[in-house]
Amino acid sequence: MKKSKIFLLVLIIILTNLITFNLGRNLNSYTLAANKGDVDKIESDQVNKLIYLENYINSYYLRDVTKEDLYTGQLKGMVAALNDPYSQYLTEEEFNELMEDTTGTFFGIGVYISSSNGYVTVVSPIRNTPAEEAGLLPGDIILKVDGVEVSGEDVSKASKLIKGKKGTDVLLTIVRKDENEKPNTFDLKVRRDEIEVITVNSKTLENNILYISISQFNDNTYKEFAQALEEIKADTKGIILDLRSNPGGLLDACRNVADTLLPEGLIYYTKDRQGQIIDEGISDANMVDLPMVTLINGGSASASEILSGALRDHKRSILIGEKSFGKGVVQTINRFSTRDGIKLTISEYFTPNGISIHEKGIVPDVEVKLDDKTTIIGVENLENDNQLQRAIEELKKII
């Protein structure tokens, strides 16, 4: 798409908003605006306003600013006006960085962040990365990166500052609420490393229980998951599925994993802005038929909530841990011919029983709060992971 076409799109949407505003004030004005001459006049007024504002900034703003910066700001501002933390206009560089999260290796600390209430908020640390080892937790607010203030209005800025060369340190200023909801501010130093996203980890535990953790859903997840299932033997008694601190990812990968674990039926469905069903995930009759328990926490979001919600609705698994994050909307990612692009919320998903979890989360069947002293979760830290210990106990009752 040529820049001129994108700019025209900006003007058309601004025009649409202005007409809607006039409708609320005066129905006659709306009727008049439908005439071509009035539409042309309104469009011309908007162009003049943008030109005037650009000239004013260039004349009086304290710092130097390029035309490209202002143009990018216009596009970002349009998407930001949606007040949706999951929708974002992406420059070419930002688009490439987003693709890294689902396909490759990068250098950083291994943490997923998003905008929440105007702050840069940790969705979850990636399992077995410096972020987890340093003790970052879901819900932590990042105020500064190496002394530079960051805000939820520009999460990409925070991401760029956090990433860096392998072996270098980054200093994060964190706000974390204690058990009494009192905010505490402290600095946390984390050493950057090469983050290779291996999404599935598995191990056979005592009593022939197969433990499988999924840290996110990316291009390789289903292949890795299928390889983990090869550890199932004739004497395997049950499965513990660990979705804690899994921020989601690719819906296709989630659907394939769910299909393997669920009986024939609905996995999820999505509705668009008109309330029409636009997508359904369906599982076939083939499934791994072993007793299951599933672990979730406040970092379990999006696709991991789709999977855990489907497992519960089908009475396929007991959910253990803490309430999930509550991201129940779906985004599409599109790249323009100019190499920039957009991530846009287009639908809301529902569990098989028709439950929306957006901004609500999923409450587990067995609530277990992680011990405060425990920062690393999973089979590598079984002796201190009280949630995993409880999962083993509950699964033993079933088998």
On whether the CB atoms of residues 272 and 278 are closer than 8 A, the answer is yes
Q: Does the annotation mark 157 as catalytic?
A: no
| Phi and psi torsions of 347, nearest 5° | -160, 170
Give Cα 47 to chain centroid, integer Å.
Answer: 36
CB 296, CB 364: distance < 8 Å: yes
Asked if 245 and 138 touch (Cβ cutoff 8 Å), the reply is yes
Alpha helices in 284-385 (DSSP H): 303-313
Catalytic residue among 140, 259, 313, 385: 313
Tokens, residue 291:
């007793």
| Rounded distance between C-alpha atoms, residue 134 and residue 375, angstroms | 8
Q: Which of 280, 293, 290, 298 is nearest to 351 (CA)?
A: 280
Packing angle, helices 67-80 and 3-25, rounded to 10: 40
Q: How far apart are CA 253 and CA 313, in angstroms?
A: 20
Catalytic site residue from 115, 124, 302, 308: 302
Question: What is the CB neighbour count within 10 angstroms for residue 222?
Answer: 22
Closest by CA position to 169, among listed 137, 201, 147, 140: 147
Q: Of 231, 290, 235, 234, which is closest to residue 260 (Cα–Cα)?
A: 290
Where is 346: in which H helix or E strand? strand 341-350
Cα separation of 383 and 399, whole Å? 22
Cα four-point dihedral sign 332, 161, 183, 133: positive
302 classed as catalytic: yes
Beta bridge mates, 242 = 213, 295
> Is 313 an active-site residue?
yes
Q: What is the CA radius of gyration of the chain?
A: 24
| Range list of H helices, the chain | 3-25, 27-33, 36-60, 67-80, 92-103, 130-134, 155-162, 221-229, 251-261, 303-313, 386-398
> CA of 66: how far to CAs of 46, 57, 71, 72, 160, in Å?
21, 10, 9, 10, 20
Which residues are annotated as catalytic? Answer: 302, 313, 327
